[in-house]
Structure 1
Amino acid sequence: MKTQFEKAELFKKLHEEKSTFIIPNPWDVATTKIVENLGFKALATSSASIAFSEGVSDNQLPLDNVLQYLEKISRATNLPVSADLGNGFYDEPKKIFDTIKLAANTGIVGASIEDVKNNESYSIEFSAERITAATEAIASLDFPFLLTARADNYTIGKTDLKDTIKRLQAYQSAGADVLFAPGIKSIKDIQSILYEIDKPLNVMMGLKDCHLDFESLSKIGVRRISLGASLFRNTMTSFIETAKSLNQNGKFDFAQTAISSDALNELLNI
């Protein structure tokens, strides 16, 4: 198994290269092993997927529970893991410092921090202070750690591209390594962001009514493509539809297309 330092170096190199890569979002040991064996180069957790798997809504799991997931996932793979830490679990910058330090002890080599709480954005200035505190925590680590700063105004219905760009520029100045504005769906808007920043941009796909593809995003210079909770939701869609059919029709033909135990054993290396 690769060391945390080796994973961190690999993750850093992926962001320094010019090529675009997809960073899928598994939510447990099994899905982590599967995405690794399917050939992806890195992975990220999704706070929503982990929360849903515990039967609670996004950002409702305590930090200690999330840290346990991060440790299990990191230990299960040779791939670098970046953690979705929501809003950092606290408002105060000094507490963001503590969150990063605790999360880094789980084996992850990167993390993202949001700038919203309870469907309201923090001010740009306060958000930048939080990013600065995170970078100070990272400076105390003995391995490279990539901080992704998120401008989440689109996810809470405030579709103001100028505000998004202003936020990302502030977070870049505060020391973020990667910038991320989930909810942006058009090539034109993504290009507008790319023109105004100097750090790698993460774009989230798996969004409804968004039909962009890897080729188009790669062509304009997007460095990283994540999927948020969409893989989890897609998995749940299949589970729910199958369970509904069983209950309503009493038929078991779903087994004809289900993956075999042998195939799963192979993907899980067991």
Structure 2
Amino acid sequence: MTRSIAEKRAVFRGLHDHGCFMLPNPWDAGSAVYLASLGFKALATTSSGYAWSKARADNHVTRDDVLAHLRDLVAATDLPVNADFENGFGADADTVAESVRLAAETGVAGLSIEDSTGAADGSLFPLDVAVARIKAARRAIDENGGDTLLVGRAENFFTGKPDIDDVLLRLRAYADAGADCLYAPGIKTRAHIEAVVKAVAPKPVNVLVSAPSEFTLQDLAALGVRRVSVGGALARAAWAGAMRAAESLAQGNFDGFADAASGAQLNKLFTDQRPE
């Protein structure tokens, strides 16, 4: 089956209506196809995983590069794709709106806008500016059909400012400004997760789990979380395997290949799973 962009977006919105789903983060078309083969219902990009594949640090790739990457992942499978769209590639609301328009044209089913300025000091946009940026993103989506899901992100815990009260204030404001789903990457405790879910209810909440956790998917569902993503964790795991193998080569042995996937397995995967 080959789904249209509209069908992918409808499926993606439906996933947010009830229950809790896993939203794994591929970093290229191959990893997207593999995840699709495992039965996941949707995928999300990872800005860090993609940047590392381009020999760049996270948040150091261009908007054009990211847009090309989104088109590649949207085409790779029949699954809806949520874009990690960083801070919208613009400091002002008008530029964010233009970026969001371009992202929607790639066919993504959803996209997130961060409130981080991207400055080295980890600063966040003032709340009024951050809200204006979400409103601009909402407007751009609505002017292009309105079916792309908008995720508002409060980056406090990712930028060294772990103030849960400010997180709640920001997420409520983003919900009121038109965000369909809310996300505070970096929150980890039961109390913080419950507080975020309660603050923006009935809108859905995304939780990031990028390291071993006390929670299972079922535990997070019981807390009211609707979707769980893993950010760059799968890319980091893949890099770890490649680094171990390469380091063994540098020492003159081949032990790092012991757990390598077979070429036949990979060839079969990409023959059977990749859409025409």
Q: Which range, TM-score by smaller chain? A: over 0.9
- Cα-to-partner distance string for 1:26-54 (whole Å, 9 max, x where unaligned): 11110010011111000010111111110
Q: What is the aligned counterpart of 2:207 among 203, 209, 227?
A: 203
Quick check: 2:153–2:171 contact (8 Å CA) kept in 1?
yes
Letter in 2 for 1:76: A
Match of 1:55 in 2: 55
Quick check: 1:155–1:182 contact (8 Å CA) kept in 2?
yes
Match of 1:14 in 2: 15
Letter in 1 for 2:129: F
Matches within 5 A, 1:165-176: 165-176=168-179
Match of 1:97 in 2: 97
Match of 2:74 in 1: 74
2:12 is equivalent to residue 2 of structure 1? no
- What is the CA distance between 1:143 and its match in structure 2? 5.4
Q: What is the aligned counterpart of 1:220 among 223, 230, 244?
A: 223
Quick check: 1:25–1:46 contact (8 Å CA) kept in 2?
yes
- Cα-to-partner distance string for 1:39-73 (whole Å, 9 max, x where unaligned): 10000101111111101111111101111111011
Aligned residue pairs: how many? 267
Match of 1:237 in 2: 240
SS in 2 for 1:222: coil
Q: What is the aligned counterpart of 2:148 among 142, 145, 149?
A: 145
Quick check: 1:86–1:112 contact (8 Å CA) kept in 2?
yes
SS in 1 for 2:228: strand
Q: What is the aligned counterpart of 1:251 among 243, 253, 267?
A: 253
Cα RMSD, aligned residues only: 1.2
TM-score, reference length from structure 1: 0.96
Match of 1:265 in 2: 267
- What is the CA distance between 1:258 and its match in structure 2? 1.4
CA distance in structure 2 between the aligned counterparts of 1:32 and 1:108, rounded to whole angstroms: 14
- What is the CA distance between 1:204 and its match in structure 2? 0.3
CA distance in structure 1 between the aligned counterparts of 2:96 and 2:55, rounded to whole angstroms: 26
Deviates more, 1:211-220 or 1:176-185: 211-220
Q: Judging changes above 3 Å, is the alpha-carbon distance between structure 1 residues 98 and 182 closer, same or farther for their aligned structure 2 residues?
A: same
SS in 2 for 1:203: strand
SS in 2 for 1:269: helix
- What is the CA distance between 1:161 and its match in structure 2? 0.5
CA distance in structure 1 between the aligned counterparts of 2:197 and 2:109, rounded to whole angstroms: 24
Quick check: 2:9–2:80 contact (8 Å CA) kept in 1?
yes
2:37 is equivalent to residue 37 of structure 1? yes
CA distance in structure 2 between the aligned counterparts of 1:219 and 1:264, rounded to whole angstroms: 36
SS in 2 for 1:179: strand
Match of 2:195 in 1: 192
Q: Which runs of 5+ in 2 are unaligned?
A: none
Deviates more, 1:81-90 or 1:255-264: 255-264
CA distance in structure 1 between the aligned counterparts of 2:21 and 2:4, rounded to whole angstroms: 22
SS in 1 for 2:238: helix
CA distance in structure 2 between the aligned counterparts of 1:268 and 1:204, rounded to whole angstroms: 28
Q: Which runs of 5+ in 1 are unaligned?
A: none
- Cα-to-partner distance string for 1:189-248 (whole Å, 9 max, x where unaligned): 10111111121000000136x432212111111000001111111110111111112212
Counting aligned pairs with the same residue, the percent is 39
User: Runs ≥4 in structure 1, deviation > 6 angstroms?
Assistant: none
